[in-house]
Chain A
Amino acid sequence: MRLAFILGEIGSGLRRNLSMVVSVILVTFISLTFVGAAGMLQLQINQMKGYWYDKVQVAVFLCVDTSTAASCASGPVTDEQRAEIKNTLDSPAVAQYVDTYLYESQEDALGHFRDQFANSPIVDSVTADQLPESFRVSLVDPEKYEVINEIFSSLPGVEVVVDQREILERVFNVMNIASLVAVSIAAIMIVCAILLIATTIRLSAFSRRRETGIMRLVGASKAVIQLPFVLEGVIAAVIGALLASVTLWAVARFFIGDWLAQQYPDTAFISEGSVLLIAPALILLGTVLAGISSLLTLRRYLKV
């Protein structure tokens, strides 16, 4: 009986305040979409880290004709120098850091280059002797890049030591900034949502002050009087959160899954399944936001 009564009160409250309720739904929808987008960007970063960090290597590039580095003063790398670098890689002092390494000749380098830039006209103008040969070193612990750098940059015949992780870090930085922007927008929108929910509840409490006044007089409990208002806010916020989840799912499915994944086939993208992880968090966040802001409002405007 009491439940049916409360549900009836909620229904009439939502109908009476329809335009405000719709605006609460839209504002929570937008704000939670941004929160979710930031969450998905973080998941994507983690995914890429897991995928790439296994593959990234430290590349020790050897001198070619055109090298300008000080260690290449004697011209292109000689066979002795190459053998010395290889010996160093095999020496126990270095080997403890090295997982595996591969030698990439100028011919191999040209092959990879052609693969990578298959669609670009630059391919035709590049020849093998323009590209440096290199040792591709996978480290046991990618963080130990500095050690390798110190040992090899000073060896004769080495032009430069490059940590590929740094290139990735730059990509991740951009993505981190993007998710920070999303979170900032979300924060502002959440403030809007909280204020809007508070205003809606206040209006609702005002338009039903006759009912609540009588409820107080006949001794209705605080829960019976306040619950319909709190649930009104919570229901609106949950609808907003559901819309946000559906939107994020659509983005994951159609934008990332169907389009981005085809454009960048070698990148590991998150799937729409990751939305299943984010959606409950969004719904919980919406519920908590609406619940807290309506309780605070009611404490001021609906004394029991």
Chain B
Amino acid sequence: MIRFDNVTKIYDQNTRPALDKVSLEVDRGDFAFLVGASGSGKSTFIRLVLKEDRATRGSVYVAGQNVANIPSWRVPKLRRGIGVVFQDFRLLPNKTVAGNVAFAMQVIGKSRAMIRETVPEVLKTVGLEGKDHRMPHELSGGEQQRVAIARAIVNKPGILLADEPTGNLDPTTSMGIMKVLDRINQNGTTVVMATHDNVIVNDMRKRVIELVDGVLVRDEAEGIYIGAQGDNK
């Protein structure tokens, strides 16, 4: 589903590469943790998958397609196949919960009938039934992140990228979020989650890909968070 082939990303010639000759493959239906300290290249990985940046060297394949060969007018189509969740939720403060989720469908031209049908369904999936008309500021952090996840998956993407989705949440709330992500993964969506939360990683026993200073140092199935670089949280 996602394949990195000897990918190097250099933002600035005078500093070390953000990603250095990284090769890895995430298959359809996988759940993978991307771990490493801040600045280890986790966010760069996500940006390259979304074609927000271009790899300096090497190739990035998403759903079998080399993203370097996707013309700019086709990039929106690539992104429709990828849902993204961030640490800071990025909800629209002036829209209700349902409005925030519906927004993702409206802007790609989905019909009103389809939106009416899909939004409550997705809100149920993330455990927010009955909160359609709440405003984001009326929700807890965990609930806000659930709205963000609902928005990310409402268009049924094949891949869900989560960049530190539990970074702002307490451990109990985080576990709730992990259950939601796990359920989405069970439904067939490939999930890649960047995190440095060792409790979650150790608890889930999923594939772990570790980056240190942009270099892939570890890739093991059912791994644990080692945090060799002293970033134990």
Across the interface, which residues of A come within 8 angstroms of B110, CB to CB? Answer: 1
- Report the minimum CB–CB distance from A208 to chain B (whole Å): 10
Across the interface, which residues of B come within 8 angstroms of A5, CB to CB? Answer: 106-107
Interchain CB contact under 8 A, B79 and A217 = yes
Interchain CB contact under 8 A, A219 and B79 = yes
Number of interface residues of A (CB under 8 A): 18
Across the interface, which residues of A come within 8 angstroms of B152, CB to CB? Answer: 218
> A210-B90, A211-B92, A217-B84 known; A304 and B107 CB under 8 Å?
no
Across the interface, which residues of A come within 8 angstroms of B106, CB to CB? Answer: 1-2, 5
12 contacts between A and B (CB under 8 A): A5-B106, A210-B92, A214-B107, A216-B76, A217-B79, A218-B83, A218-B107, A218-B152, A219-B77, A219-B80, A219-B82, A304-B75
Question: A residues touching B (Cβ–Cβ < 8 Å)?
Answer: 1-2, 5, 210-211, 213-222, 224-225, 304
Across the interface, which residues of B come within 8 angstroms of A219, CB to CB? Answer: 76-82, 108, 155
The secondary-structure label for the interface of chain A is: helix
Question: B residues touching A (Cβ–Cβ < 8 Å)?
Answer: 50, 72-73, 75-84, 90, 92, 103-104, 106-112, 151-152, 155
Interchain CB contact under 8 A, A218 and B73 = no
Interchain CB contact under 8 A, B109 and A304 = no
Across the interface, which residues of B come within 8 angstroms of A224, CB to CB? Answer: 107-109
Across the interface, which residues of B come within 8 angstroms of A210, CB to CB? Answer: 90, 92
**Looking at A214, A219, A220, A304, which has the most chain B CB atoms within 10 Å of its CB?**
A219
Interchain CB contact under 8 A, A2 and B109 = yes
- Report the minimum CB–CB distance from B211 to chain A (whole Å): 23
> A214-B90, A214-B92 known; A222 and B111 CB under 8 Å?
no
Interchain CB contact under 8 A, B109 and A218 = no
Known contacts A210-B90, A210-B92, A219-B76; 13 additional CB pairs below 8 A are: A2-B109, A211-B103, A213-B90, A214-B103, A214-B107, A217-B84, A218-B107, A219-B79, A219-B108, A220-B108, A224-B109, A225-B107, A304-B76
Interchain CB contact under 8 A, A218 and B92 = no
Q: How far is the CA of A211 from the CA of B92 in the complex (A)?
A: 7
Interchain CB contact under 8 A, A214 and B104 = yes
Q: How far is the CA of A197 from the CA of B76 in the complex (A)?
A: 27
> Which residue of B is nearest A5, CB measured?
B106
Interchain CB contact under 8 A, B79 and A218 = yes
Interchain CB contact under 8 A, A1 and B111 = yes
- Report the minimum CB–CB distance from A142 to chain B (whole Å): 60
> Which residue of A is nearest B81, CB measured?
A219
Q: How far is the CA of A217 from the CA of B47 in the complex (A)?
A: 11
